[in-house]
Chains A and B, each alone.
Chain A
């Protein structure tokens, strides 16, 4: 069976170290806790520096390989991406086999399959090959590789500091957020993306460290680039009359993202089915075709395309040109990515969105002057970026915050939410599987789908809870009184449950048999002693109806029945659940 190329294999050296880790935990139990946050800062700083170097390397390579002013009909546009593609293919096959793809799924795979392990070689390979591919003009972006580089740095540092397996797994998202934050120069979006797309949940244990890592890396990146976002944001204006125009943008954004996703869904597996020698030629061939697009008139689609995004935001293209650029960027990125060339899809997604947004904005302003669309074209381009992000990458929350963070203007939130929602719904309706999940399936992996996880409705205790039918005794009653009270229930058997309400408001779930045992011993003890004294200090756990149903499971080993109480009235009984109630509820879903 073919080795799954995106999966890292953790070195088998952990048997010995596991023992030493146990020793460390015994000697200094709070050590990991203490150095965890400090390491997050180091991860952030180092990731930030690496990402700045990575971006510089791309820019340098671009100038060196494509010249300072790539323009149509320059022969090097044809030659450079093709030759670079061949070099990347050879190095990918023989030196850095794990660097194919964007980096997001690779990080997820490392997190879920390999305890967050990403090898140093992969980090180096990702850095070098992605820089070469993007710098030579392949239509890919640096953000996703930055995410993987950050995760790789985190993995390396955490391994070297002798962290436990549990902690090792937590470090990858920290590095991923740090890498992405530096690449985006937008920490909130990076944090949200990692939560939304990589770890899939708001994990309090790791959230603080993710924030710390992301902020550290952004501080480093801004030390070099300044606090400006990746592209110069023009004045963003919005008038509520423009909502209709943004609705149209949402619809077209949804359609464009569908085209992009379908193209990848078709081409990538087709190319991956080819024999090994043919796969070696694919990045070169993709480079030739992408270079061809540049040679015959659209060099803007080559590379990450930030310059063109900036130009589109500042209304430097006519609407037809913008539309052409969006279309050819979809084609170029599909070719580059499907060929296995390492590089990300964030920048191309933003590029397509910006071009589409600016194109629709220009068209509407030009042909529908009666609508009085007063918003700047930059606003349309920005919303377009968010739209594609939401619809193609399926990260709706990140998409909204990314636009807000990049523009620094909250007045645009209404059109962003409107257009993003429309595009997201269209994309979901016609392409149920998110693109990252589709790519992992194509690679033969089945990682958790974050979109499914987000939408999974969790069962709560109230879903299995029933009214209390068990006898209820007061814990303060004397044993003799309790015996009399219990005697009223004639149909009790040995395993029947009796709930005892103790004086502190807590409950005790006893079996009839257990109580009989206690009553039997009353002759020997003081008959004035209360029932709760004889029950000891142990009480059933305090559970409320809104807690997850699964939270009851660990307690059934000890308790036959769990009383569920009211959050507003301490100790007031709402109902009860038994093991069979819980199982029936799960089976009946």
Chain B
């Protein structure tokens, strides 16, 4: 080939290659738009399907048909994988359907991506509690309390803390429950409902003092709140504040007397009211006039002496008495000279007589079984903080 021919051939080749690449580019552009059209149309269709199916799932879950919800939500998720709200709904549906293991697995899967999510931790805590796994339940409850929450996190955290306290009470871990309740009480605004709930739970956790405080908070805002009056009265009675208990229970009874409510308190509270009334009659309070106080001391001494004598009869003199009773016996013997006049003359003798009454009830309660009637009430009085009251 001559040089001219070679040059021409080269040009032809260059032209051919350029044309080839031009055609390839054109094909690529056309193919791109076709693919884009297909992709966009299907993507939007998927989005529609995802919304439709998740809506069906949500409705079914609300209507209490968790099985149906599971199918619908799974379908929704297949069209919008990873959508958080659908995943949470599905997990809830699994839980509602009683598929605890699956729900646990599902929530665990969600947890691995968001270990700090309050809701997921709460659900895991509930599932662990259901599976009787207190270690994990408590772990997840705590993680939920310190986790992140959408919306009103303060309220949700408090609710979770209360739920944890309920769980701890059910697990008989009363001290831990009390701590959670006190933290919740410390972080809570003054709300009668919340104070009432806290007081109820504190009562269950055995913290009567704080329960009483919370009932009082309720009563400050709603002095006729029946539950608070009863709860506070019960707490005061158990704390040995019989005067307060009596007053509160009286108010509860008055509040009950309104036409819309029944007239009677629950049996337990009726007894408490009666007992507190009688205790107040028996109590040799230092605030009483001296003659009145001495009269009560003498009456209480008679009750206690009778109880002591009855208790002594249960022991065989040949076998001898326990040292505590022997000591009591000696004290009663020395108090034989106890008379109205001598007591009125000395406040110290009054106090000694009261102490002897209380010691008698405490010791006889120990050696001769539980007392009844006024003895039982004197024993309550002996155990109450009011015993120190002059």
Contact = CB atoms under 8 A, between A and B. Distances in A.
B36 to A, nearest CB: 8
Contact of B13 (A31, A60, A315): A31
A485 interface: no
A53 B13 contact: no
Contacts of B72: 69
Main DSSP-derived SS at the B contact region: helix
A362 interface: yes
Contact of A71 (B16, B52, B71, B90): B71
Contacts of A311: 74
A23 B42 CA distance: 49
B105 A316 contact: yes
Contact of B32 (A49, A314, A315): A49
A49 B28 contact: yes
B17 interface: yes
B35 A362 contact: no
A314 B31 contact: no
Given A46-B31, A160-B20, A316-B102, A53 B108 contact: no
A362 B105 contact: yes
Query: Which residue of A27, A162, A377 has the most chain B CB atoms within 10 A of its CB atom?
Result: A27
B102 A310 contact: no
A49 B106 CA distance: 35
B99 to A, nearest CB: 8
A409 interface: no
Interface in A41-86: 42, 45-46, 49-50, 52-53, 56-57, 59-60, 63, 68-69, 71
A546 to B, nearest CB: 42
Interface in A142-171: 157, 160-162
A236 B10 CA distance: 58
A161 B34 CA distance: 24
Contact of A45 (B28, B36, B102, B106): B28
Contacts of B45: 63
A27 B6 CA distance: 6
Interface in B58-81: 71-72, 74-75, 78-79, 81
A403 to B, nearest CB: 18
Contacts of B108: 315, 376-377
B27 interface: yes
Nearest to A366: B101
Contacts of B35: 49-50, 52-53, 56, 224
Interface string B28-54: 100110111011001001100100110
Given A56-B39, A68-B53, A235-B112, A28 B13 contact: yes
Contacts of B99: 318
A94 to B, nearest CB: 27
Interface residues of B, number: 43
A361 B74 CA distance: 22
Given A49-B32, A316-B105, A307 B112 contact: no
A311 B99 CA distance: 16
Interface string A268-293: 00000000000000000000000000
A68 B108 CA distance: 28
A318 B39 contact: no
A63 B49 contact: yes
A510 B255 CA distance: 129
A56 B9 contact: no
Interface string B185-210: 00000000000000000000000000
Nearest to A24: B13
B109 A307 contact: no
B78 A56 contact: no
A436 to B, nearest CB: 30
A235 B113 contact: yes
Interface residues of A, number: 44
Main DSSP-derived SS at the A contact region: helix
B315 interface: no
B38 A161 contact: no
B78 to A, nearest CB: 4
Query: Which residue of B49, B101, B106, B112 has the most chain A CB atoms within 10 A of its CB atom?
Result: B112
Given A53-B34, A161-B17, A59 B101 contact: no
A376 B35 CA distance: 37
A232 interface: yes
A42 B109 contact: no
A150 B79 CA distance: 27
A38 interface: yes
B102 A60 contact: no
B42 A59 contact: yes
A518 interface: no
Contacts of A316: 74, 90, 102, 105-106, 109
Contact of A50 (B31, B71, B90, B101): B31
Contacts of A362: 105
A198 B90 CA distance: 43
B17 A52 contact: no
Contacts of B39: 52, 56, 224
B42 A27 contact: no
Contacts of A23: 9
B267 interface: no
A50 B353 CA distance: 105
A31 B109 contact: no
A2 B24 CA distance: 38
Nearest to A307: B78
A68 B38 contact: no
B109 A377 contact: yes
A317 interface: yes
A234 interface: yes
Query: Which residue of A38, A49, A234 has the most chain B CB atoms within 10 A of its CB atom?
Result: A49
A553 interface: no
A35 B17 contact: yes
A353 interface: no
Contact of A56 (B24, B42, B81, B109): B42
Given A50-B31, A57-B38, A157 B24 contact: yes
A307 B82 CA distance: 12
Contacts of B78: 307, 310
Contacts of B9: 23, 27
Top 7 nearest A-B pairs (CB, nearest first) are A315-B105, A69-B75, A315-B109, A235-B112, A314-B109, A56-B38, A307-B78
Interface of A: 23-24, 27-28, 31, 35, 38, 42, 45-46, 49-50, 52-53, 56-57, 59-60, 63, 68-69, 71, 157, 160-162, 224, 232, 234-235, 237, 307, 310-311, 314-318, 362, 366, 376-378
29 contacts: A27-B10, A28-B10, A31-B13, A31-B17, A38-B21, A42-B28, A45-B28, A46-B27, A50-B35, A59-B42, A68-B49, A68-B53, A69-B75, A71-B71, A160-B20, A224-B36, A224-B39, A232-B81, A234-B109, A234-B113, A237-B112, A307-B78, A311-B74, A314-B110, A316-B74, A316-B90, A316-B109, A318-B101, A378-B109
Interface of B: 6, 9-10, 13, 16-17, 20-21, 24, 27-28, 31-32, 34-36, 38-39, 42, 45-46, 49, 52-53, 71-72, 74-75, 78-79, 81-82, 90, 99, 101-102, 105-106, 108-110, 112-113
Given A42-B21, A50-B35, A161-B17, 12 more contacts: A45-B28, A46-B31, A52-B39, A57-B38, A161-B20, A224-B35, A224-B36, A237-B112, A316-B106, A317-B102, A376-B108, A378-B109
